[in-house]
Amino acid sequence: MKRLVVNPDACTGCESCMLECSFQHEGAFGLDHARIQVERREVSATFRPRVCIQCEERHCIAACPVGALSIHPDTGAIRVDGDLCTGCGLCERACPHGGIHFVQGVKSPFVCDLCGGEPKCIAMCRKAQAISFAVIGGGDER
């Protein structure tokens, strides 16, 4: 199964991926509403994308006290059940990758859904390739 792969050294901090992500999911451009977040340090020109990388451990699922998080069987992305979620924030705290976050005024967390299997952010990063979509960890599609 393909996953998002992040290469922070290649990130230029342009935030195109964030704007595209927000637009694809919300129909509007905003920074908070992007499932992918970029930490920017302008003085040293160092930038780090933070996004769910569909890790093996799935710390967020383990941390959820109400079972609101699960793995999408087709894509491997995290699925949020908005009815079950209480907005407690434990998933955000548990994730070591900064891959899941809350937005003020919205109960459920924001996490990458791989756009249903074809992540749109990739097209924004074709030159730098700081984010790519690939099979890793013993796969044969690379």
Partner 1 sequence: MSASHTAYSQYVLDIDLSSGVIKREEVAPRDIERFLGGRGVAAAILARSMREGVAPLDPEATFIFSMGTLTGTNAPMTGRSGITFISPVTGLYCKANVGGHFGLYCKLSGIDYIVIRGAAEHPTYLWIGDDDAQLRDARSLWGKGVRDTTAELEERHGHNINVACIGPAGENRVAFASVMSSIYNAAARGGGGAVLGSKNLKAIAVGRPHQTCSPVSAEAFGEAAADMREALYADTMSDSYYTYGTAASVDTMNETDTLPSRNFQRGRIERIEQLTSKYWNDHGLLKGRIGCASCIYSCHRFVRIDDGPYAGACSAGPEYETVSALGSGPAIESIGALQCANERCNDLGLDTISAGGVIQWAMETYEKGLLPAELVGDMDLRFGSEQAVTELPGMIARREGLGDLLAEGTRRAAERIGGDSWKWAVQTRGLEQSRVETRGALGYALAFAMNPRGPDHLHTECIAEFGMTPEMRGLIAEITGDEAYARSDTTEKRAEIVRYHEDIYAVSDALGVCAFASTAAYGANPERCARLFSAFTGISLDADEIMDAGRRMITLERLINLRLGWVNDPNQYAPWRLMNEPLKTPTGDVPRLDEERMGGMVREFYELHGWDLESGVPPQGVVEALALEEFA
Cα dist. 55→97, 101, 112 in Å?
A: 9, 16, 12
Interface with partner 1 includes 67 (CB under 8 A)? Answer: no
Eight-state DSSP code of residue 47: E
* CA pair distance 1, 89, nearest whole angstrom: 28
Q: Which of 65, 127, 137, 142 contacts partner 1 by CB under 8 A?
A: 127
Helix (H, G, I), strand (E, B) or coil at 26: helix
Residue 16 touching partner 1 (CB under 8 A): yes
Per-position x/- string for 77-116, each x denoting binding to partner 1 as judged by CB under 8 A, each - no binding: ---------------------------xxx----------
- Identity at 6, one-letter amino acid code: V
List residues binding partner 1 (CB under 8 A): 9, 12-16, 19-20, 22-23, 26-33, 40-47, 104-106, 123-128
